[in-house]
Structure 1
Amino acid sequence: MWLHIAVQLVLLGFLTQTMAQYGFYNGQCFEEREKYQIVIVLDRTENLILEDARGPLKEVINHLRIKLYYATFALVSFADWDKDAWTSQTGQKRKRDVHEDPEGCYKLEKPFTTRHIEYKSVQDQLDRVQLLPSKNTENIVSAVSWAIVDKKIGWSSDPEMKKVVLLVTDVYDHGNVNLYNPRSRKPSRLDGSDTCSNNLPVKLEEAQKLLKRHKVIIYILLSHNIQYVNSVKDWYKKNTDVFGVPFKISYFFDDKKNKTVEPEELAEDIKHRLDELEATEKGTFPCPD
């Protein structure tokens, strides 16, 4: 009897230690040290994108929470620069359908949750993101870069923490943009102090250096826009080094099958991408037997 009790205590101790080291959720095991910080970089220039963010994207987050149990989430939004930036010195308007918010090109919507169970606060904030219409969104590279250096977003100082950008848009960045009316804007310093009204768009080569240095993982989710979705897909396929780091692209709507892609399928693809990169970096992680 005493031997039986002793064996049970040893097994219980092993189980407790294993759970503390790895963590278990929904029948799956997770190595607690393998944590991800996922920042959603959301294009807020069109209603179609916001509809995807407030619907399917919320479900993607739900499924990611199961597949990446220790992941935490943050949310930033972006639009083009304001109307004054696209006005000539003579006052002639050079772009149509551009917003008038001087700080609208980048906004921290929700810092990283301090605990993984707080992910719903990020989902709730998706409903509050305000539309800033623009037909010419050249701010993707700047928004991604500013998110990575944002001092208020809550990036971890742990060198093992993986930084993931989940970019939700329906377009691509147009490269090194020169504003028509830069006024007194200074070049972006990429130190967390840059603002839409005080700084110029991030130069592509500087962004590439930054994202490489931080080993940023980028996953792009394209919102379906039937007018130019194929040209956007083709552009990303031809410009594989635009961010300086490898990225993967997927879609809320599969135009070949003429149907929406299930959020669980998208979450699984994101998880597969992270596993793929992890395996390339240092081998796959085996769950304990």
Structure 2
Amino acid sequence: MRMLLHIVVQLALLGFLTQTIALYGFYNGKCFDESDKYQILIALDRTDETILADARGPLKEVINHLRIKLYYATFAVVSFADWGQETWYDWPNLRPEDRSRFLEHEDPEGCYKLEKPFTTRHIEYKSVQAQLDRVQLLTHFGTENILSAISWAIVDKKIGWSTDPEMKKLVIVVTNSYDHDGLELVTPGDRKPSKLDGSDTCSNNLIVEIEEAKKLLERNKVILYILLSYNDKMEFWEETKDWYNKNPNFFGVPFKLSKFYTDDNKPVKPEKLAEDIKNRLDELDANEKGTFTCPD
């Protein structure tokens, strides 16, 4: 009887603590403002094994630290790849032996995929981490679909975007390349321009027009964070960084550029990346944030 009473008391205390945590957002000795809400979308480039390796390792740890720093944040994952060989601007002039290098996939719907809709609760972040392990490689010759992938994700009706006007939208793009300005499909077939209403597909629609995409990101107040993965072609690595630095207005909204690795190829600690993301959000949101006092 005494043992049973002890168990009942322990369960009651556990229930009280759980309710207190939910009420005050108290976690690891920190207090969180429940009104400070974020939906964090991971837009993952799946065209290179090195990117997927970073997604299955360091990125999962970044999520771990973000869910502590942004206690009420929820997460989603989309993946993207190239549009196939038809995007190669010089395709008609390539020799057959060269074309074969660019035929590693012909997935008609490979340019965009909803991997994991937004979790409904912050404690479900592990399901997002698990989904990162399931993203399949779809190799090709470049990464020209970043802007279209972000645009389609924003209007995706299945992803679970909140209608709460106070909800902030953070998109973390994980890639090792940049969007090729003005890229067009060489053989578009009967594809139609993207409607940006959630009905667009890789096989039925064209690449999103840059100006339309910029308006979409701006209208939805997207906060953009570009996280570059390792690329062993150091010349291209420098070219990629230079492109982002020289095109600060390409996406129509400000973005922060960061990397999984330093210039001398040393890994950046995931907690440092998470802190950098949090600092960026605080910087952008400095004029809107109120104060929150921890309960006694």
Look up the match of 1:11. none
Q: Is the deviation greater in 176-185 or in 78-87?
A: 78-87
8 Å Cα contact 2:74-2:121 kept in structure 1: yes
Q: Deviations over 1:245-269 (max 9, x none)?
A: 010011000014x410000000011
Taking a change above 3 Å as real, the CA distance of residues 78 and 20 of structure 1, as seen in their structure-2 partners, is: closer
1:45–1:131: 8 Å Cα contact kept in structure 2? yes
Q: For 1:7-22, what aligned pairs fall within 5 Å after superposition? A: 22=24
For 1:244 and 1:37, how far apart are their aligned partners in 2?
20
1:66 to partner: Cα distance: 0.6
Between 16-25 and 54-63, report the one with greater CA deviation.
16-25
Query: Which segment is superposed worse, 224-233 or 180-189?
Result: 224-233
Return closer, same or farther for 1:17/1:129 CA change in 2, 3 Å cut-off. Answer: closer
- Cα distance in 2 for partners of 1:18, 1:124 equals 29
> Percentage identity across aligned positions?
68
Quick check: 116-125 or 226-235, which moved more? Answer: 226-235
- 1:18-57 matches, within 5 Å, as 22-57=24-59
Secondary structure of the 2:224 match is strand
Consecutive unaligned residues of structure 1, counting only runs of 5 or more, are: 1-15
Alpha-carbon distance between aligned partners in 2 of 1:182 and 1:249, rounded to the nearest angstrom? 32
Query: Distance in 2 between the 1:189 and 1:61 partners?
Result: 32
**What is the aligned residue count?**
273
Matched-pair contact (CA < 8 Å) for 1:84–1:100: no
For 1:55 and 1:207, the matched residues in 2 are separated by: 31
Letter in 1 for 2:223: I
| Alignment check: 8 A CA contact 2:43 2:173 kept | yes
For 1:1-289, what aligned pairs fall within 5 Å after superposition? 22-83=24-85, 96-98=101-103, 99-227=105-233, 228-256=236-264, 258-280=265-287, 282-283=288-289, 285-288=291-294
**Distance of 2:24 and 2:226 partners within structure 1:** 29
Hey, what's the Cα distance between the residues in 1 that align with 2:252 and 2:291? 27
User: Are 1:141 and 1:204, in contact at CA under 8 Å, matched by a contact in 2?
Assistant: yes
Question: SS where residue 71 of structure 2 aligns?
Answer: coil
Return the letter of the residue paired with 1:154.
G
* Contact 1:40 1:74 survives alignment (8 Å): yes
Runs of 4+ residues over 3 Å off in structure 1 = 16-22, 83-96, 283-289
2:240 alignment partner, SS class: helix
Give the Cα separation in 2 of the matches to 1:91 and 1:260: 38
Shift of 1:176: 2.3
* CA deviation profile, 1:174-222 (whole Å, cap 9, x unmatched): 1222101100000001110000000000011000000000000001110
1:279–1:51 Cα change, 3 Å: same
How many angstroms does 1:278 deviate by? 1.0
Q: TM-score, normalised by structure 2?
A: 0.86
Q: Is the 8 A contact 2:87 2:184 kept in 1?
A: no
Check whether the contact 1:89–1:181 (CA below 8 A) recurs between aligned residues. Answer: no
